[in-house]
Amino acid sequence: MSRGWWIAVILVAVGVGLAVLVGVLGTRNEPSKSEAVSSLCSSLTALEGSVTTLTGIDTSTATMADFQADVTAVQDDWSTVKSDAQAVQNAQMGSLDSAWDSFESAVKSIPSDATVQDASNSVKQAADQLQSEAQSTVSSMSCSSASA
């Protein structure tokens, strides 16, 4: 074989090697599909729990600081859900996103001088809807089998 032919073969081999290396390095930190689904299922379950805590607040003994802490927990869990959902291809989040928007709107509409009872009443319907949509999303993803 001629010298030019060997150079071409070597360049092709180096190119293929680099392509394989880039592919391996590019995906090494990505979670597997089942890990991503499991993470989303866990974060949805955490969201359900924080919403349950919020809607179950004892308005006769809780302070507004307690109520706000419960709202913050729901918001933090939502951030985790959104982050985890990005790793799951075709995650059906439309209804859950809408329920979240309604919840956030209800929280923002609470007057600054509201009592815990008033604040809880203001968000109850939206929180119940958010929890319902989280449960529906868990069911649609077959989370019990994904996390088992």
Work out the pLDDT band at 52, boundaries 50, 70, 90.
very high
Radius of gyration of the chain (CA): 24
- Most confident range (mean pLDDT) of 31-40, 57-66, 87-96 is 57-66
Q: Please state the φ and ψ torsions of residue 36, each to the nearest 5 degrees.
A: -65, -45
Q: Given a cut of 50, is residue 59 above it in pLDDT?
A: yes
Reported as type and span, the H/E element at residue 100 is helix 94-108
Q: What is the pLDDT of residue 133?
A: 94
Please, what is the Cα angle at 74 between 143 and 50, to 5 degrees?
60
> Which pair of tokens denotes residue 33?
């599909």
Q: What is the pLDDT of residue 92?
A: 83
Q: What is the pLDDT of residue 32?
A: 73
pTM (2 d.p.)? 0.75
Q: Given a cut of 80, is residue 145 above it in pLDDT?
A: no
Lowest average pLDDT, out of 8-17, 88-97, 109-118, 132-141, goes to 8-17
